[in-house]
Structure 1
């Protein structure tokens, strides 16, 4: 299934994309794409509905973040060896973990703000992993049973804030709109091999990033198990799993986003995003 949330910011309703690409309203069956709705039982209940009987959503509504009430927005740094090297770092021996503020989350096609005082706002196409059931001290073999599905994420960064303003990555990762997620959450059963999905990102029509989830240093199951050793993962938590090479920081010379530029990105099976850069 492809689950999404649509409508004005803060008033999103739950929906489902049918086989013909039509958005169907789920609001009479579930309160949101969040919490226990993401559990195996919750997803099974949605899958059992007669999709054709769900009301179609007319027009072209705004698409919101595909997960509501996200508790934790966790990110994995330097998870592609060639990306690590382009930033001047060696590939890590275990996952590099940091957090984005959940207030950074926005819809997949919402405008992205360049922070005040920023001169190094950068792009990063990433695959998101959405937790569906509580996970604590789980093994790698158990990990995928706790995953509801996957989504597309642009893990935007302000590189100067990230690296030169006191040593913590979070402040360079958490500006409002620095976490577009969606357009939809694709449930686990629809993805044949999560470690074989093509990734891409364009800036003003020029290809900047090309990659595949198969070249991740730490795969999805390993990441979910690893994180569960340090914290309890709850339904609706989102893990952004790392970016392939081609970020602005790694270009020669380094190149960053400017007001008015348009970023498009996608991952096979997970949809596409489009954002226009605006000044905060």
Structure 2
């Protein structure tokens, strides 16, 4: 009761304000009212793309047979994605064909996710549905294209009418296969990524906003309840480490699922 009373009153009487969904719709910074309107979220996305291009240019412009430590680290990272996410599900032939696409997915999503824990940015580029939805739609188009490229119209037959099933079950099975393959896959790709980034942002903002409130409002007024800010700050640091793990994991999950969906599109039976 005492803590809830403290949280309900600020020094200015306006009350404690936690994070809200409005955080993901920041005010416009540049070109308001035009198709080129840029808010904080769009600025973060542009910054990530520029930094990724710069990173890969710097990392690959002077590769040596006797690599430096930085080159070893870069090659290990790229090799992990190439071998573990691309070649393991797809094999060498298909892996070479879709390697650039899947690696782009992984590093783009990873870069966008990590901005959520960088001081000064503190908002993931994938925390609003627009970018995850675009990436999911592109992935949807790629795995459908892969199926038609490998099997032609037989791709639809194999997808919607799995072999070895009694004909009367197709009445139920075919609509389910259509929904699962062509609707559920892209929707879950986009929603899984977005919801994880939203949840992580809300949790971190709650912890650090509460810390600021306890230290600079409650404790500053001489109320020792403000020492609870030590706990909220500690929880914030713990959740930040957890959030970094989740951000890396979500980039991995999105990329590996893209590989798996491509592989499912080209196999003879699934």
Give the TM-score normalised by the residue count of structure 1.
0.25
Q: Which has the larger radius of gyration?
A: 2
Give the TM-score normalised by the residue count of structure 2.
0.25
